[in-house]
Amino acid sequence: MSSRWSWVMNALYISLSVCSLEVSGGLVQSCGYIIPESPVLTLGSNFTALCILNESCLDFGNIHANQIIWKIKNSVVPKEQYRVINRTVSSVTFSDTSTLATPLTCNVLADGQIEQNIYGIAVTLGLPPEKPENLSCIVHQMSKTKFIMTCTWNPGRDTFLATDFRLKSQWPLETLADCEPEGVNNSCDISNVQFFVNLEVWVEVKNALGKAESEHIDFDPVDIVKPLPPHNLAVNSGELPTVLKLSWENQITVVEMELKFNIRYRISDSPDWMEVPPEDTASQRTSFTVQSLKPYTKYVFSLRCMKKDGLGYWSDWSKEKSGVTPEAKPSKGPPLWRKMGISHSPNSWTVHLVWKELDHSEANGIILKYEVTVRARPPLSRPPEKYSVNSTNLTLNLTNGTYDVTVTAHNRIGGSPPSALLIPASNSKASVKDIKAFPKDGKLWVEWTVPDNNVVKYVIEWCMVSDSSDCTTEWQQELGTSQGTFLKGDIKPFKCYQITVHPLYTNGQGNGQSTKAYLQQSMPAKGPTVQTKKVGKAEAVLVWKPLSVDEQNGFIRYYSILYRTISGNEAVVNVDPSKTEYTLSSLSSDTLYMVKMEAYTDEGGTSGPVFTFTTQKFGKGEIEAIVVPVCLAFLLSILLGVLFCFNKRDLIKKHIWPNVPDPSKSNIAQWSPQTPTKHNFSSKAQMYPEGSFTDVSVVEIEADDKKSFSEQDLKPFNLLKKEKNTSEGHSSGIGGSSCMSSPRQSVSDSDESESAQNTSSTVQYSTVVLNGYRDQIPSVQVFSRSESTQPLLDSEEKPEDNPGGGESATPRQQYFKQNSSQDETNTDGSHFERAKQVTPPVNEEDLVGLAQLQISGHSSPLCGSGPERNKPESALADVLSPSTEGQILRLETMGINTAMVDEIQKSYMPQTVRQGGYMPQ
C-alpha cells in the first residue's frame, strides 16, 4: 500500500516539475522551444528543426535530450531522422519537405513513462514566383472619346503562397502609378491613356520565398487600339439584278486615326460567308457597292474596321443587315425526264414528262409558268405541239417514233433557256458499267464506269424499296463528264434503295443499270420463322419465308440454322440467303429436335423463334416393306382358302348344310316293285303292280374275305366305291319310314386297300315302308328309299334285340337267307356257277345298287303292332319265294372289300332287280 502511494506521489511530482511555470514579469515560459519558429519552406527542399530544453527544467525531472520525441500531427517521426546534439538540444531532419505537415511538435518522456508536449510550430510550404511571360497590352475604344488600355500576362505556376503582382509603367521622363490587379493575377486596366507618346510597361511579382519581373515592352498606345465597329449599316438594291449598295457610319474620328474596312456577305439560307477583296476597302470610307451577286437573292451583310496602316486590332463585326437583289431571267431550264406509261394501243405509247422546279438561285425570280414543246423526228410528219402548264408534269399520248421535247420556265422578266430531252423509239445506245452504291461521308454515293465519251448527261433514278408502300421514284441529272455523285434527297438509314443510272446521248439513250444500297445497315428486326416441310427417319426438310425488306435492315449475308436435341450439343449450319429450304441430315430416329434460325447482315444477326419436331421411327419404305408382304401373304392365304373351299365344296356342303331332298321330287318309284309311274303318294290305288320285281337275292358277305377274290373279280365293284363317295355329298338325313324309323349300322367300304386298320363308315340304306305317306295306309307293301348316312340303331340291325322275338324273325328269313354260320372258304365254286346261270344278267349299275342296298330289320314300334309289320314281309316272301334258292350269290367271290364295324361282322343287302335292269338303292 505504501509502495503504490509513493509511485503516485512521484508521478505527480514529475508532472508538476515538467509543467511548472515560472512567472516572471507576467510572461509564461515553457521548458523548451523549437527553431526556426513558423518557417515558410519550399516544396521538395531539405529542412532541419532543433528542439532546445531550458536549463531551469532539467533539474526537476531528470529530463535529457535523448528523451525527446518528434511528431508530425499525430505521427511519430522515425528516430533515424533524430540527432542529439547535447543534453538540451535534439534535431530532426527532413530530406523532402513535400512529406512534411503541420504542426511539427517536440515531446518528452519523463522517467520513460509519461509523454509530455514541450513545443510545436506551424510549417508553411510553397514555391517562389516565376517570371511573368507574354506581357501584352490593347487599347479598347469605349466611346468616341474614351479609351482604356488593358495589359495581360502569364503569371506562371501556382505558388501556394500569397503572391503580389503589380503592373508598372512609365513615360520617358515620368513614372506612372502602379496598377494593382483586382481579383485576378494576370491583367490590369489603365484608364489614363495618351496617344502619340511611347509608354514602357512591365510586371513585378513577389512572395515569402522570392520575387520576379517580366520583360519590359515599349509602344505608342495609338498603335494598339481596337476601334468600335461601324454602325447604322444600310443595304439598298440598285438597277442591276446583281448589285447591292452598302452604307454606314464610323465611330472614331479621322483626327485620331484613319481606318480600313472588311466587308462580308452570305446568302440568307447559307452559313458560308463570302468577303469583298480587302484591297477594294483599304481606304477611309462610309459606303461600298457589292457586285456579282445572284438575282432575286437575299443577302446578309456585315463589316468591321481597323487602323489603316494595319497596326492595332480589327474591330468587332457590325450588326448584320440583309437585302434582296432584283429579279432576272431564269439562268437555266428545269431538269427534264420522262417515265413511260402503259399503252393501250400497239402503235402508240404514253409518256409522262416530269421536271424539277428550279433552285432559287437558278429561277432568278418567281416562276409563273412552263412552256412545253414536242417535235416529232422523221419519218413522222406532224407539226410541233406546244403546251403551257403551271405544274411540273405533263402526260402525252404519242405515236411510236422519236421525239424532241423542250421545257422553258418563265418569270416576270422572261423565259429560261430550254431544257431538251430526246425520247427515242428504242434504247439502242450503250449502258453504264460496274454501277456501285455505298455510304460515304454520311451520304449515299453512286459511281459507274463511263460507257462512251459521247454521253451528254446522266439521269440517276432511285426509290426506297418497301413492302408497305409503293416505290416512289426520285431522280436527278448529272453532267456527262461525271463518274459518280451523291444522291440529293432525304436518304434514310436502315432502308433499301434501288438506284438506276441512265446515260443520255445526243441521238439516243442507253438502258438503265440498277443496283441496291443502304445508307446504314443494322441487325435484322427479327429472325426467320422455320417450319418443317417433311420429316423422315434421319432427315428433315426445313422451310422458311424470307424476311421482308422492311425487316431486313440491311443485306442478308447468310442464314444460320441451329439445331440440337434436348440434351445434346448444338449444331450450326450456314445457308445461302437465296434459299428458302434446307434438309437436315444424319438425324437420330424418333428423337425430338429443337431448331431456330438466325439472319445475319454486316452488323450482326437476329434469332427467330424456336421450333420443335420429332423424327420418324421408321424410314421411307420400311413400313411398306413390312405391310405389303404381310398384306400379300394375307391375300394369298385368303385366295388359297377360297380355292381349297371351292375344291372341297361338296365336303363342306355335307358338313355345314346337308342336302335335304324334297319328298315331292322323290324317285322312290323308280326302284320300288309296285311304284306307279308318278309319285302320287296321295292315291289309294296300288303303287306297284305285280311283276315289277323279277328277282330278289340275298348276298352274304364276310368282312375279312377280300383276299379270296382276284382283282378281276373285284373290278366291277370299284364303281361301287366311287358311286358311294359321290352319293355321300347328296345324302340326306330323312329316313325311308314315314314314322322316321331309327337308323342302323350299315356296311362301309374301305378307302385304303393297303391299310391294316378298318375304318367304319355309314352307307346308304333302304327300309321297308310299313305305313303310308302322311298317315296313309298303302294297299301294297312299298319300299322307300333314304339317302341318309345316319347309322342304323342296334335294335334295327340285330333281330335278336327286337322285342318281337322269333316271331318277327321268321318272315325276314323268308326274304333273306341267313348263312352267317357257314365258312366262306368252304363255298362251292359250282354253286357260284349255278347262281350265275340262274340269275338274269346284271349290269354294272345293278351291281352298284346291289352293294349299297340294305333292308332294315324291323320298323319302329311307334309305327304299328307286330302283325301289321308281318303282313308286308309275308307278301314280299311270296313274291320272292319261287326263285330265292337259285339266286343266292356270294359276294365273296366278287371280291367286295367291305369294312364292318367291330361289333357287327355281317350285313344283309337285298337285291331288287327291275325288269328294266336297274338296281336302285
Residue 129 CA to residue 204 CA, distance in Å, equals 10
66 CB contacts (<8 Å, ≥6 apart)? 84, 90
* Distances, alpha carbon 314 to alpha carbons 227, 230, 255, 302, in Å: 7, 11, 18, 13
Q: Is the pLDDT of residue 669 over 90?
A: no
Question: For position 568, what pLDDT does the model report?
Answer: 82
Question: For position 112, what pLDDT does the model report?
Answer: 60
* Residue 844: all three cell numbers together: 354294272
Residue 655 confidence class, pLDDT cut points 50, 70, 90: confident
**Identity at 320, one-letter amino acid code:** E
**Residue 855 contacts residue 816 (beta carbons within 8 Å):** yes
Query: Average pLDDT in the 851-874 region?
Result: 36
Residue 267 CA to residue 273 CA, distance in Å, equals 8
Which one is predicted more confidently, 477 or 14? 477
Q: Is the pLDDT of residue 403 over 80?
A: yes
* Residue 316: all three cell numbers together: 468587332
Residue 467 CA to residue 547 CA, distance in Å, equals 10
843 half-sphere exposure, CB direction, 13 A CA radius: 8
Largest Cα separation within the chain, whole Å, is 210
Q: Give the residue from 509, 401, 393 showing the smallest Cα distance to 457.
A: 509
Q: Is the pLDDT of residue 605 over 50?
A: yes
**Residue 243 contacts residue 293 (beta carbons within 8 Å):** yes
Residue 356 confidence class, pLDDT cut points 50, 70, 90: very high
Q: At what angle do helices 844-852 and 718-728 cross, to 10 degrees?
A: 60
Residue 567 CA to residue 227 CA, distance in Å, equals 86
With cell 519537405, the residue in question is: 97
* Distances, alpha carbon 378 to alpha carbons 266, 373, 399, in Å: 50, 16, 12
* 360-392 per-position pLDDT tens digit: 889 999 999 999 999 998 888 889 999 999 999
Residue 727 confidence class, pLDDT cut points 50, 70, 90: very low
Q: Is the pLDDT of residue 674 over 60?
A: no
Q: Give the residue from 160, 171, 163 showing the smallest Cα distance to 204.
A: 163
Question: CA triplet 287, 291, 297: central angle to 5 degrees?
Answer: 105
* Residue 335: all three cell numbers together: 431538269
DSSP state for residue 547 in the 8-state scheme: P
Phi, psi of 4 (to 5 degrees): -65, -40
Burial profile 700-728: b = 16 or more Cβ within 10 angstroms, e = fewer: bbbbebbeebeeeebebbeebbebbeebb
**Residue 701 contacts residue 714 (beta carbons within 8 Å):** no
Question: CA triplet 432, 434, 439: central angle to 5 degrees?
Answer: 110
Q: Is the pLDDT of residue 830 over 70?
A: no
Residue 671 CA to residue 759 CA, distance in Å, equals 30
* Residue 119: all three cell numbers together: 513545443
**Residue 76 contacts residue 23 (beta carbons within 8 Å):** no
DSSP state for residue 780 in the 8-state scheme: S
Instruction: State the sign of the Cα–Cα–Cα–Cα dihedral 446, 452, 456, 459.
Output: negative
**Identity at 612, one-letter amino acid code:** T
* Exposed/middle/buried for residue 333 (C-beta within 10 Å: 0-12, 13-18, 19+): buried
* 887-902 per-position pLDDT tens digit: 333 333 333 333 333 4
Q: Is the pLDDT of residue 11 over 70?
A: no
Q: Is the pLDDT of residue 833 over 50?
A: no
468 CB contacts (<8 Å, ≥6 apart)? 550
406 CB contacts (<8 Å, ≥6 apart)? 333, 372, 373, 375, 418, 419, 420, 421
Q: Is the pLDDT of residue 735 over 70?
A: no
Helix and strand counts by DSSP (H, E) for the chain: 13, 56
Residue 66 CA to residue 49 CA, distance in Å, equals 15
Question: For position 668, what pLDDT does the model report?
Answer: 61
Residue 342 confidence class, pLDDT cut points 50, 70, 90: confident
Q: Which residues pair with 449 in a beta bridge?
A: 433
Q: At what angle do helices 622-647 and 649-656 cross, to 10 degrees?
A: 80
Show contacts of 37-41: CB within 8 Å, 24+ apart: 37/121, 38/121, 38/122, 38/123, 38/124, 39/121, 39/123, 39/124, 40/124, 40/125, 40/126, 40/161, 40/208, 40/209, 41/97, 41/100, 41/123, 41/124, 41/125, 41/126
Query: Average pLDDT in the 720-727 region?
Result: 43
Query: Quick one: CA torsion of 78, 84, 85, 91, rounded to 10 degrees?
Result: 30
Question: For position 344, what pLDDT does the model report?
Answer: 73
* 66-89 per-position pLDDT tens digit: 888 999 988 899 999 999 999 889
Show contacts of 669-673: CB within 8 Å, 24+ apart: 670/918, 670/920, 671/783, 671/785, 671/849, 671/912, 671/914, 671/918, 671/919, 671/920, 671/921, 672/782, 672/783, 672/784, 672/785, 672/920, 673/782, 673/783, 673/879, 673/912, 673/914
- Average per-residue pLDDT for the chain: 75
Residue 552 CA to residue 527 CA, distance in Å, equals 9
Q: Is the pLDDT of residue 333 over 80?
A: yes
- Least confident window among 444-458, 507-521, 714-728: 714-728
Residue 496 confidence class, pLDDT cut points 50, 70, 90: very high
Residue 170 CA to residue 202 CA, distance in Å, equals 9
Which one is predicted more confidently, 621 or 183? 183
* Residue 766: all three cell numbers together: 333302304
Query: Average pLDDT in the 717-744 region?
Result: 40
Q: Is the pLDDT of residue 306 over 90?
A: yes
Residue 728 CA to residue 658 CA, distance in Å, equals 10
**Residue 702 contacts residue 906 (beta carbons within 8 Å):** yes
DSSP state for residue 335 in the 8-state scheme: P
Q: Give the residue from 308, 355, 599, 344 showing the smallest Cα distance to 475.
A: 355
Q: Is the pLDDT of residue 846 over 70?
A: no
Percent of the chain with pLDDT over 70: 68
141 CB contacts (<8 Å, ≥6 apart)? 147, 225, 226, 227, 228, 251, 252
Residue 308 CA to residue 278 CA, distance in Å, equals 12
Helix (H), strand (E) at residue 61: helix 58-61
DSSP state for residue 545 in the 8-state scheme: P
> Which 3 state secondary structure label does DSSP give 192?
coil
Q: Give the residue from 886, 894, 818, 819 showing the smallest Cα distance to 850.
A: 894
* 759-770 per-position pLDDT tens digit: 333 444 444 444
Helix (H), strand (E) at residue 806: helix 806-815
Strand arrangement, sheet containing 530-535: 530-535, 540-544, 581-584
Residue 237 CA to residue 323 CA, distance in Å, equals 7
Q: Give the residue from 282, 283, 286 showing the smallest Cα distance to 245.
A: 286
SS (HEC) of 739-764: CCCCCECCCEECCCCCCCCCCCCCCC
Query: How many angstroms separate the first and last alpha carbons of the chain?
Result: 164
Query: Average pLDDT in the 399-425 region?
Result: 92
| Global pTM value | 0.48
Question: For position 292, what pLDDT does the model report?
Answer: 92
Q: Give the residue from 58, 64, 101 showing the smallest Cα distance to 86.
A: 64
Residue 552 CA to residue 524 CA, distance in Å, equals 5
Q: Give the residue from 429, 596, 478 showing the smallest Cα distance to 529.
A: 596
**Residue 311 contacts residue 323 (beta carbons within 8 Å):** no
* 125-155 per-position pLDDT tens digit: 999 999 999 999 999 999 988 999 999 999 9
**Residue 308 contacts residue 260 (beta carbons within 8 Å):** yes
Give the range with max mean pLDDT: 169-178, 311-320, 735-744: 311-320
Query: Average pLDDT in the 288-296 region?
Result: 93
Strand arrangement, sheet containing 89-94: 32-35, 47-53, 89-94, 82-84
Q: Is the pLDDT of residue 183 over 60?
A: yes
Question: For position 30, what pLDDT does the model report?
Answer: 72
